[in-house]
Amino acid sequence: MLHDVGTKLAVAALATALVYYVGSKKPAPGPTQPVRPPRKDSHTGFGPKDSVTVRVPATTANMGPGFDSIGMALDIWNELTVERADEFSFVNEGEGSDVLPTDETNLVVVGLKAAFKAAGQEMPTLRILCRNRIPFARGLGSSSAGIVAGIIAGLVIAGHELSVYGKEELLQIAAGIEGHPDNVAPCIYGGLQLGIFTDNRWYSSRVQIPDGMQCVLFIPETTGKTSTARAILPAKIDRADAVYNIGRAAILVNAFRSGNLPELRHAVQDKLHQPQRGEAQYPHLFPLIDAALEAGAHGCFLSGAGPSVLAITSGLSGDIFTQMACERAETKVADAMRDAAAKVGVKGCVFITNPEHRGAHIVKVHPKISDHLVARYEGDITDL
């Protein structure tokens, strides 16, 4: 099912991942659910804006057998603020700030330009501030986060409307830049997303994520280039390997939908990219997978093009002090992954997080979009 939201207002559609009506404690609808159209009686309305702040999540892609087609949002966030200005400036803070470009080659600017092109406008002079918490070039979707954040910010500044119903125009722009949908789709919509190219367009479909799921990440100190990781892969694949992956991708989706997480032990196995990258590029990959599974993880796989490795555990459902005694395995899995990496001489850190149901959303905009919508942001209420 497409992400039908029944509105053409791009900003409102993007904000639905975090938009709440005052007093509501229910999570915002997922992109496959009907969404209440925004009220149109605001005295400000939707039009060109002076400034906007956007948040976008990290993502893990491929997820074993789902090469270039399955991805999931994670609760790690970048924040982008874009303002009209008299003089261009670009500042990076946080992850990757010492290596990320501050000119037109930055993917944020690529996304901004794509948005203004879609709006039929020249990109104005802008002041750009990136607060990056997603580890850069580690297989956690930092490139897609930059692209998506730039597109959304550009659309808001331009005051441009996108078609959403039946078209997913934002996804078309983002995946067109990235070349595949497995990172940009969950970055835009949140959750676990299946992405394909069909009928001359990118298409995405959301899969239910079981409650209580956690993600244990081992993030090496060294970076990994996607171009290098792709160059390792063979141009053709064996039919038996294709069948191997098709079956496991199907079981992976069923495991998520049914909540039968132990099935992930087999469902995240792969023949198309992990063996090749583990042998030629990431000697820590399979030692970490084996260690995580032995320590109680349901499944473990290379995150995106690497070098990060992600293990899935469960048990996040109650009092942490009670659960530590018997139910929760994330700390044990984290320790096992860290020890396995040390044995093969790979330095890094462990980060424990969880899947994120929200996707990209607007935190703040001026002039505000509506008198009747608010955004929930880290416990605070901010006017949109």
Question: pLDDT value at position 320?
Answer: 53
Q: What is the mean pLDDT of residues 295-300?
A: 96
Percent of the chain having pLDDT more than 70? 81
Does one domain contain both 57 and 131? yes
Q: Which two tokens stand for residue 298?
A: 């349901």
Whether residue 217 is found in the same domain as residue 335:
yes
Q: Which residue has the higher pLDDT, 236 or 374?
A: 236
pLDDT at residue number 381: 46
Instruction: Tell me, rounded to whole angstroms, the distance of Cα 137 from its chain centroid.
Output: 14
348 and 241 share one domain:
yes
Given this model, what pLDDT does residue 230 score?
86
Any domain includes 150: yes
The band of 211, judged by pLDDT with boundaries at 50, 70 and 90, is confident
DSSP at 166: T
Q: Which of 189-193, 259-263, 296-300, 313-317 has the lowest mean pLDDT?
A: 313-317
The pTM (predicted TM-score) of the whole model is 0.84
CB 341 within 8 A of CB 284: yes
Both 104 and 235 in one domain: the answer is no
Domain match, 321 and 251 both: yes
Nearest to 205 by CA among 33, 26, 18, 9: 33
What range defines the domain where residue 260 resides? 213-353
pLDDT at 40: 40
* Residues 218 and 203 occupy one common structural domain: no
CB 71 within 8 A of CB 61: yes
- Residue 270 located in a structural domain: yes
Count the Cβ atoms, other than its own, within 10 Å of residue 132.
Answer: 22
Per-residue pLDDT at 18: 32
Q: How confident is the model at residue 256 (pLDDT cuts 50, 70, 90)?
A: very high
128 and 185 together in one domain:
yes
261 three-state secondary structure:
helix
Beta strands in 141-262 (DSSP E): 192-198, 201-207, 214-220
CATH number for 158: 3.30.230.10
In which band, very low, low, confident or very high, does the pLDDT at 328 lie, cut at 50, 70 and 90?
Answer: confident
Nearest C-alpha neighbor of 15 from the set 4, 31, 34, 1: 31
Burial class (CB in 10 A: 0-12, 13-18, 19+), 60: buried
| 99 plus 241 within the same structural domain | no
**Spacing of C-alpha 236 from chain mean position:** 28
Among 104-118, 132-146, 267-281, 309-323, which is the least confidently predicted range?
309-323
Give the pLDDT score at 213. Answer: 92
Query: Domain holding 238: CATH number?
Result: 3.30.70.890
Segment 55-62 shows an average pLDDT of 98
Model pLDDT, residue 338: 97
Mean pLDDT of the chain: 85
Q: Which band of pLDDT confidence, cut at 50, 70 and 90, is reported for residue 33?
A: very low
Asked whether residue 322 falls in the same domain as residue 287, the answer is yes
pLDDT 10s digits, 187-201:
999 999 999 999 999
| Average pLDDT of the residues in 200-214 | 93
Report d(CA 365, CA 351) in Å as an integer.
Answer: 31
pLDDT of residue 228: 82
State the pLDDT at residue 375.
52
Give pLDDT tens digits for 143-176: 999 999 999 999 999 999 888 777 899 999 999 9
Q: How many domains does the chain have?
A: 2
Are residues 242 and 199 part of one domain? no
Residues 180 and 278 in one domain: no
Do 147 and 97 sit in the same domain of this protein?
Answer: yes
- Per-residue pLDDT, averaged over 109-117, amounts to 98
